[in-house]
Amino acid sequence: MYPSPSIYLSHDENCYTFEQLFALTRLGHKYQMDVVERQAVSCLKLLFTDDFEQWKDGNAPFETNYAHGIGVVQLARLANNPGMLPVALYLCSLDASVLAHGWTRADGTVERLERCIDGYGILREETSTVLARIFQFASSWECTAPNSCEVCLAEFHALASASSERHTLLHSWEDMYDEWTESSHVTLCTACMEALCEREKEQRCAIWRRLPKIYGLPVPDGWETA
How does pLDDT run across 150-185, given as a tens digit for each residue? 999 999 999 999 998 888 999 999 999 999 999 999
Whether residue 96 is found in the same domain as residue 80: yes
Rounded CA separation 170/168 (Å): 6
pLDDT at 7: 62
Please calculate the CA angle 99-102-106 and round it to the nearest 5 degrees. 160
Q: 3-class secondary structure for 73-96?
A: HHHHHHCCCHHHHHHHHHHHCCCH
Residue 218: inside a domain: no
pLDDT at 3: 46
Contact assessment for residue 134 and residue 198, using Cβ atoms and an 8 Å cutoff: no
Residue 109: inside a domain: yes
Q: Residue 17 pLDDT > 80, yes or no?
A: yes
Rounded CA separation 68/98 (Å): 9
pLDDT band at 117 (very low <50, low <70, confident <90, very high): confident
Contact assessment for residue 31 and residue 64, using Cβ atoms and an 8 Å cutoff: no
Whether residue 110 is found in the same domain as residue 125: no
Residue 93: inside a domain: yes
Show the domain range for 96: 18-114
Q: How many domains does the chain have?
A: 2
pLDDT band at 16 (very low <50, low <70, confident <90, very high): confident
pLDDT at 1: 38
Whether residue 143 is found in the same domain as residue 189: yes
Q: Whole-prediction pTM value?
A: 0.86
Whether residue 148 is found in the same domain as residue 98: no
- Pick 112 or 63 by higher pLDDT: 63
DSSP 6: -
Report the mean per-residue pLDDT for the chain: 87
